[in-house]
Structure 1
Amino acid sequence: MSRRMGRILAFQGLYSWEAGGMSKEDILELSWADSETGKDVVDLETATFARVLIAGAIENQALIDQRIKQNLKGWEFDRVNKVSLSILRMSVYSLLFQKDIPPSIVIDEAVDISREYGQDDSYKFVNAVLDNIGKACAKENSVK
């Protein structure tokens, strides 16, 4: 299983959901992932991981977007480009709900994906927002 590939698929799926208006059900099928290369590129574990991220981010979008908005410094939510927003949603879902994955890994993966797929300096923006949310999550978990 490649969690990195699962995160990339989740980001691409969330982007398609946000920008392309694909239904959640169509995105979760991941048939679009295989059609991009013309062969079966996604093993079952990777596909399952991607589906968890996609479904979780969509189902918890209101909470996730609220967290993102709370951590935008000098930036309007409506101005966040769809690539960065998709990466943020996927990653914030992980930070909030996947407690078995260290926040540093979630943030590092998001930054790497943002470097690869985002605009020039979008990785800095993604890093700053996720770092703030990760610290808030750690603080919340230590209080519980």
Structure 2
Amino acid sequence: MEPIEIRSDIRTKFFPASPAKLFTAMRDPNCIAKWWGPDGFTNTIHAYEFVPGGSWRLTMHGPDGTDYPTENRFVRLVQDQLFEIEHLNGHHFVLTIELLPHGEGTKVMWRQTFDTAEHYRQLADFVAAANEQNLSRLAAELALGKSAA
């Protein structure tokens, strides 16, 4: 298998919030529905079984009105430390989000890993922009104070 570094989009972002607050924003389906996805997207959550092996099914609604049915499986969940899902339909990938205490906040390590480097290369520009937007939407949601731990 090819090295993970050449198959992955990797982002880091500092949040002036505790790992617990960030984990809450990932654990709560009502909260995640508000910030998940690129700019302009909204979400309808159909299932959110927040346990390893649990199902996360949602429909992402694009700003142009297109619906994107999405199916994920929770792979690893470590309270206040790690959120990992496997995206099962469409483009297959694993998304790993690590929450690392850093000073007065948290450093988020976001890694979206595809099966092959070629698959990643085909989507790299879109994925990079979408992941940055996703992290910005999370920051905006946390700033609203609605995800307090």
Could you state the TM-score of these two structures normalised by the residue count of structure 2?
Answer: 0.33
Could you state the TM-score of these two structures normalised by the residue count of structure 1?
Answer: 0.34
RCO higher in 1 or 2 (8 Å CA, sep ≥ 6)?
2
